Structure 1
């Protein structure tokens, strides 16, 4: 039996436990097709109800993981989407685009590196030109690389890449998008439980995620008088290609076991949070962080 997101299920048993998942070690940024246990993005389960009909969205990192799940959900809710991806993730991006088209919506795919300021501006320009405007910006793309030695193993090159991908791009994209966002539009950022409970191996990544939480709260106040809402989703452990591509094998094998529900989340379980923030249902919510963590407290 195929369940959708509205069917009652036991959250402990809904998806595989850590001892039942195999990531398949690979190089960054990671490909979905190389994972023996492919993440669930809602391909067979997400049921839309028209909550985003006529909206136009940009989703960074929309090729795989949470980004793909959000693209599927948005499309099935009636939105047209632009997804960004690194050139080496083309195969994943094409599969996401296929799923959006299958939902009857328009999709624009934009390869490139969001560490480049001009590329961020180009993403917004293309959304406005090719989708006819912009209503939703989802800042989802991120980079991490675990370092067992902590700060002494983090190179300046790595630190620069993490900050440029996770924070600089967020700023550039928001700055470019705001002039095109009408009242009622939304910006949704992706933070992490790492913003509140940082792992020593992810010091640089956790630092950027804490910055995203602060940026979200500040920008929400900045844009309130324009009628633009800004919110943030903070995932816990989520099963995506980023995990086997950036973490040691032993960590992948136990990934997700430390949360109360006893397993990693699936991208499909994150998508409804983004739909909520993108929809009119959250009209009185701005500057908020929604944790989707399997029961592990954010604070």
Structure 2
């Protein structure tokens, strides 16, 4: 039965009822799966509409990150958990210290596994989570509704300290615009299950976060071409992967690649510059420093010097 309380269930937004799923409880398993899949198919197009805003946010975040600022995610429930996921994966993928990406989840670590529903309303917790941010930091609020008190308090506090603020929300009309430098609207519309933002809204958030953080790392020189060159080889698998990346990037045989990697003390990006530019470790390291850590620029400068 339809509710007449439009403050809870409206025709639009993540809380509204999706007419395509009115009879979901009468469908076959395949029918339900196909319906969900059909709805998911449109998420990428929604995220694409937010890319211009995310691009501007990356440009600003790069400046602050290079000055020593860190990225902080703030969210509750599913939104917050995707922040935790992304922040956990960035350090091992791109070889940066863990504190450079930090996720703040309403309700703390317990909320990662168990629902702590009241935590999203705790403005004091949100304020406290962002209290230590400074002017070079980047605060990203993640909330499908655009009205989660924890997230709003965190963004407001971060903004007051001069930090950059980016909001990811499914709600175009969010009041959090007032203290967000950038607002990426991910309007995925009514969910298959009304209000279940763990579905399309969360998928859009995950895509936007991954795109933002990956693009930021690429801009910071954490890749060479499409290769991950700052991977820290903590185990045998990663050591084999690093050697394979070096061989592909510099077109080397295995023994030569192993020799260069040894001279580079296991630093893959340094080894790539050494291998392609045919130079020693100190020269390659200086070139990388002068290029802001961007491998192709360092290689280009060294090859230009050699040809001059």
Which TM class, normalised by the smaller chain length? 0.3 to 0.5
TM-score (norm 2): 0.35
Q: Which has the higher contact order (CA 8 A, sep 6+)?
A: 1
The structure that has the greater radius of gyration is 2
Structure (1/2) with the larger helix percentage:
2
